[in-house]
Amino acid sequence: MIQKSTKIYIAGHNGMVGSAIWRTLIAKGYTNLIGISSKQLDLKNQQAVHDFFATEKPEIVIDAAAKVGGILANNDFPYQFLMENMLIQNNLIDTALQSGVEKFIFLGSSCIYPKLAPQPLKEEYLLTDSLEPTNEWYAIAKITGVKACQAIRKQFNKDYVSLMPTNLYGTHDNFDLNSSHVLPAMIRKFHEAKKNSEPVELWGSGTPMREFLFVDDMAEAVVFALENKLPEYLYNVGTGEDLTIKQLAKTIQKITRHQGEIVWDATKPDGTPRKLMDVSKMHALGWKHKIQLEEGIQKTYDWFLENLDRYKEVKL
């Protein structure tokens, strides 16, 4: 039974997801959290991870550490997205197992599912068809993590569970236009275009459908998995609702108060045509998201404005 004093290690605690999990656990009264920066501990270094576990002796591990990026970054650096993510998660999962950690929560991504899988995406569609080529390297790495945790459940009967979030966004997001995901990239583009009274150019046709979950809701799902023994090895985490990229752009345009034109560059790739999560398994257990998209985007934009000094303006 988990106590408020249970020693919980959050890998990736400085990232958008990890920091949200940290804040949520503190708010709920957890008092024994461990986090260490990537500068102090290289999770790709197996010996360093072993040494860290031997010293700190965490009782529960939440793996929110990953090398992440959008279509462009995944396409340009396939080897790093495959190998670095496998090294990070393999070191954490294996060291946790060797160290006697009974509970491990592995965070993945909805990109683990086949490109043309039926919608909404059910957990059982994993490995039933081929992946989206633009991010298959990251997806394959994450699939190996899911399977490693499933194997540990099966062979050692430990509570190792995988949560697959839909597209996450929120405070502490990455707004770098070369490596960010679609929603934060749009926030930055619309903000800077508003300042410069310019149109906004966006990739693709605007027709793909996407689902977005505010990161604080993801953190609540992680705490739910922490405080309950989930009966299966894999769970989708999302809203179960989606919209077109064009609708998303209109929503962000409204929130940022950008007045100009939106120009779609149809020569650029769209990625997966639709990616909606079936979240009925989490709903059946008692978890559901609370923050609606417009409210979440407003919170994210407010945070972006408060932290503008992190981002040098770029000419779009």
Annotated binding-site residues read 12-18, 107-110, 142, 165-168, 181, 189, 203, 210, 270
- b (16+ CB within 10 A) / e for 27-60: eeebeebbbeeeeebebbeeeebeebbeeeebbb
CA quadruple 191, 195, 200, 202: dihedral sign: negative
The CA–CA distances, whole Å, from 70 to 138, 256, 270 equal: 10, 22, 12
Length of the chain: 316
**Does the active-site annotation cover 138?**
yes
| Token reading at 12 | 């990736």
Binding residues for substrate: 189, 203, 210, 270
CB-based contact 243:293 (threshold 8 Å): yes
Q: Quote the CA–CA distance of 135 and 75 in Å, as a whole number.
A: 7
Q: Which of 9, 30, 113, 138 is catalytic?
A: 138
Smallest CA-to-CA distance from 12 within 77, 79, 85 is with 85
Rounded to whole angstroms, the Cα distance separating 256 from 29 reads: 35
CB 104 within 8 A of CB 145: no
| Residues catalogued as catalytic | 138
